[in-house]
Amino acid sequence: MGILNITPDSFAETSHLLDPTAAVDAALRMETDGVDIIDIGGESTRPGAEPVSAEEEMARVVPVVGALSGCVRVPVSIDTSKADVARAAVAAGASIVNDVSGLRFDPALARAAAESGAALVLMHSRGRPQTMSADAAYTDVVAEVTAELRDSLQRAADAGVAIERTVVDPGIGFAKRPSHSYGVLARLPELAAALDRPVLVGPSRKSFLRDAVGGRPAADRDWGTAAAVTAAVLAGAHIVRVHAVAEMVKVVRVAEEIRRHSYMAKG
């Protein structure tokens, strides 16, 4: 899953794709580079980010989603926690809704997903971007993340979303200190087995990598990201969400070969 941020304040990129033509060109390059899903977001969810209105978010993303509809062969995902934005994006051609709030922010989003027929990614987080660092307190991070994702799955089911259309994301870096994010990665098979749903992992360029890569800024953390992506794939992740698509496609292919041979050896 390639990240296409249409925001002025992305934490991980030095250039910003507010111009729809530039955003479409970036998406087409991702497809050429081997991306499987293009994830389009119009509101930053980095720690401390200020919210934007649904109207502003739609103005950023819907023209890009519409321009890509029928233009790319891969699915387009809308990264939003707002029901109105999800409806507009799906109407324009998106087929996946990726909600970082796990259906906590907008009670109407679950029904919007159910009515649209889109797939739904439910990510674990706590609080809001402005406050989530204060909520990074766990006794057993994997057990608690699993329980809270199970609640999100239940909210989706109660709104009519078929379980087969759901994917879970443990929310690396969201309301988690570095030790929590590494703990989730290390114990990913445990979480996946407990929830019995496909798992998306998004470690790309996040701050939990910073100390391990010598304090490098976000845009210079792709080597660390590659290690985290490899760990996620070997642990059974079905989707990895990344910025550097061309590089991470190669990383994933090698990790998949290692995983495949591991299964062959066990057989």
Q: Is 206 a catalytic residue?
A: yes
Cβ–Cβ < 8 Å for 160, 111: yes
pTM of the model: 0.94
Give 20-54 pLDDT, tens digit per residue: 899 999 999 999 999 999 999 999 887 777 889 99
What does the pLDDT look like over 145-156, one tens digit per residue? 999 999 999 999
- Out of 241, 259, 260, 266, pick the active-site residue: 241
Q: What is the pLDDT of residue 14?
A: 44
Contacts for 28-35: CB closer than 8 Å, 24+ residues apart: 28/71, 28/72, 29/245, 30/2, 30/4, 30/245, 31/72, 31/73, 31/74, 33/2, 33/245, 33/246, 33/249, 34/245, 34/246, 34/249, 35/1, 35/2, 35/74, 35/245, 35/249
Q: How many angstroms separate the CA atoms of 121 and 77, rounded? A: 9
**Residue 117 C-beta-side C-alpha neighbours within 13 Å:** 2
Residues 184 and 145 sit within 8 Å (Cβ to Cβ): yes
pLDDT tens per residue across all 267 residues of the chain: 999 999 886 655 544 567 889 999 999 999 999 999 999 999 988 777 788 999 999 999 999 999 999 899 999 999 999 999 999 999 999 999 999 999 999 989 999 999 999 999 999 999 998 889 899 999 999 999 999 999 999 999 999 999 999 999 999 999 999 999 999 999 999 999 999 999 999 999 999 999 999 999 999 999 999 999 999 999 999 999 999 999 999 999 999 999 999 877 876
Encoded amino acid at 149, one letter:
L
Q: Which of 176, 187, 206, 221 is catalytic?
A: 206
What's the rounded Cα separation, in Å, for the pair 211 and 224?
10
Look at residue 152 in the predicted model and tell me its pLDDT: 98
User: Torsions phi, psi of 257, nearest 5?
Assistant: -65, -40
Closest CA relative to residue 42, chosen from 19, 61, 29, 16: 61
Three-class DSSP category at 228: helix
> Is 250 labeled as catalytic in the residue annotation?
no
CB atoms within 10 A of CB 98: 28
How many CB atoms are closer than 10 A to CB 194? 16
Cβ burial, residue 188 (10 Å; 0-12/13-18/19+): buried
Place of tokens 């660092």: 133
Contact assessment for residue 229 and residue 251, using Cβ atoms and an 8 Å cutoff: yes
Beta pairing partners, 122: 99, 168
In sequence order, what are the residues at sequence separation of 6 or more whose Cβ sits closer than 8 angstroms to the Cβ of residue 42? Answer: 6, 7, 52, 56, 57, 58, 59, 60, 61, 79, 80, 85
Query: Does the 2-266 domain belong in CATH 3.40.50.980?
Result: no
Dihedral of CA 135/140/145/151: which sign?
negative
Say if residues 76 and 95 touch (Cβ distance below 8 Å). yes
